[in-house]
Structure 1
Amino acid sequence: MAQNDTAKNGNGGNLGFEADLFKAADKLRGNMEPSDYKHVALGLIFLKYISDAFEAKHKALLAEDAQAAEDKDEYLADNVFWVPKEARWSHLQANAKLPTIGTLIDDAMRAIEKDNESLKGVLPKDYARPALNKVMLGELIDLISGIALNEEGDRSKDILGRVYEYFLGQFAGAEGKRGGEFYTPRSVVRVLVEMLEPYSGRVYDPCCGSGGMFVQSEKFVQEHGGRIGDIAIYGQESNYTTWRLAKMNLAVRGIDSDIRWNNEGSFHKDELRDLKADYILANPPFNISDWGGDRLREDVRWKFGAPPVGNANYAWLQHIYHHLAPNGTAGVVLANGSMSSNQSGEGDIRKAMLEADAVDCMVALPGQLFYSTQIPACLWFLARNKNPGKGLRDRRGHVLFIDARKLGVLVDRTRRELTDEEVQKIADTYHSWRGEDGAGEYADVAGFCKSASMDDIRKHGHVLTPGRYVGTGDLVKDDESFEERMTRLTTDLGEQLVESASLQATMRDQLKLLGFPIAELEQ
Structure 2
Amino acid sequence: MTDEQKKKLEQKLWDIANTLRGKMNADEFRDYILGFIFYKYLSERLQAYADDILKGDGVKFLAIDETTTDGKSILAEVKHATVEALGYFLNPSELFSAVAKRGEQGAFILGDLSTILTNIERSTMGTASEEDFDHLFEDLDLTSTKLGRTEEAKNALIARVLTHLDAIDFRLDDAKADVLGDAYEYLIGQFASGAGKKAGEFYTPQQVSTILARIVTTGKTRLKSVYDPTCGSGSLLLRVAREVTDVGDFFGQEMNRTTYNLARMNMILHGVHYRNFDLKQEDTLEHPQHEGRLFEAIVANPPFSAKWSARPLFLQDDRFAQYGRLAPGSKADYAFVTHMLSHLDDNGTMAVVLPHGALFRGGAEGAIREYIIREKNWLDAVIGLPANIFYGTGIPTCIMVFKKCRETDDVLFIDASTCFEKGKNENRLRDEDVDRIVAAWRGRAEEARFSHPAPRAEIAANDYNLNIPRYVDTFEAEARIDLTAVARQIAEAETAMEPLDAQIRAFCAELGLESPV
TM-score bin, normalised by smaller chain: 0.7 to 0.9
Q: 1:143 Cα shift?
A: 2.1
Once residues 94 and 378 of structure 1 are traced to their aligned partners in structure 2, the CA distance between those partners, rounded to angstroms, is: 50
Once residues 135 and 10 of structure 1 are traced to their aligned partners in structure 2, the CA distance between those partners, rounded to angstroms, is: 34
2:92 to 70, 77, 85: 85
Instruction: Return the letter of the residue paired with 1:287.
Output: S
- 1:296 has 2:314 as partner: yes
Listed as ranges, the gaps of 5+ residues in structure 1 are 1-8, 387-393, 434-442, 477-523
Q: Which residue of structure 2 aligns with residue 511 of structure 1?
A: none
Q: 1:70 Cα shift?
A: 4.7
Instruction: Return the letter of the residue paired with 2:410.
Output: H
Instruction: Return the letter of the residue paired with 1:243.
Output: Y
What pairs with 1:26-425 in structure 2 (closer than 5 Å)?
26-65=18-57, 66=59, 70-79=77-86, 81-97=88-104, 98=106, 100-116=108-124, 117=130, 118-124=132-138, 125-132=140-147, 133-148=154-169, 151-155=171-175, 158-197=178-217, 199-221=222-244, 226-227=245-246, 230-256=247-273, 257-263=276-282, 265-302=283-320, 303-306=322-325, 307-342=327-362, 344-355=363-374, 356-386=376-406, 394-395=407-408, 397-410=409-422, 412-425=423-436
Identity %: 29
Q: 1:27 Cα shift?
A: 3.9
TM-score by length of 2: 0.80
Q: 1:140 Cα shift?
A: 1.3
Q: Which residue of structure 1 aligns with residue 439 of structure 2?
A: 428
Instruction: Identify if the C-alpha distance between structure 1 residues 100 and 475 changes in structure 2 by more than 3 Å, giving closer, same or farther.
Output: farther
User: Does the aligned pair in 2 maintain the 1:53–1:157 contact within 8 Å?
Assistant: no
Which has the greater radius of gyration? 2
Cα deviation 1:131-150 (Å, max 9, x = unaligned): 4233222221122223335x
SS of alignment partner, residue 95 of structure 1: helix
User: Does the aligned pair in 1 maintain the 2:50–2:78 contact within 8 Å?
Assistant: no
Q: 1:72 Cα shift?
A: 2.8
SS of alignment partner, residue 272 of structure 1: coil
Q: 1:73 Cα shift?
A: 4.0
Q: 1:416 Cα shift?
A: 1.7
Instruction: Return the letter of the residue paired with 1:404.
Output: A
Q: Which residue of structure 2 aligns with residue 464 of structure 1?
A: 466
SS of alignment partner, residue 348 of structure 2: strand
User: Does the aligned pair in 2 maintain the 1:62–1:68 contact within 8 Å?
Assistant: no
Once residues 267 and 20 of structure 1 are traced to their aligned partners in structure 2, the CA distance between those partners, rounded to angstroms, is: 40
Cα deviation 1:189-227 (Å, max 9, x = unaligned): 111001111631111111111111111122222xxxx24
Deviates more, 1:273-282 or 1:53-62: 53-62
Instruction: Identify if the C-alpha distance between structure 1 residues 115 and 432 changes in structure 2 by more than 3 Å, giving closer, same or farther.
Output: same
Listed as ranges, the gaps of 5+ residues in structure 2 are 60-73, 125-129, 148-153, 479-517
Instruction: Return the letter of the residue paired with 1:399.
Output: V
TM-score by length of 1: 0.79
Give the RMSD, CA atoms, in angstroms: 2.5
Q: 1:283 Cα shift?
A: 0.8
Instruction: Identify if the C-alpha distance between structure 1 residues 153 and 73 changes in structure 2 by more than 3 Å, giving closer, same or farther.
Output: farther
Instruction: Return the letter of the residue paired with 1:299.
Output: D
User: Does the aligned pair in 1 maintain the 2:101–2:163 contact within 8 Å?
Assistant: no
Cα deviation 1:453-506 (Å, max 9, x = unaligned): 011111222111233212227679xxxxxxxxxxxxxxxxxxxxxxxxxxxxxx
SS of alignment partner, residue 15 of structure 1: helix
SS of alignment partner, residue 178 of structure 2: helix
Cα deviation 1:341-376 (Å, max 9, x = unaligned): 11x321111111111201011110001111121111
Q: 1:281 Cα shift?
A: 0.5
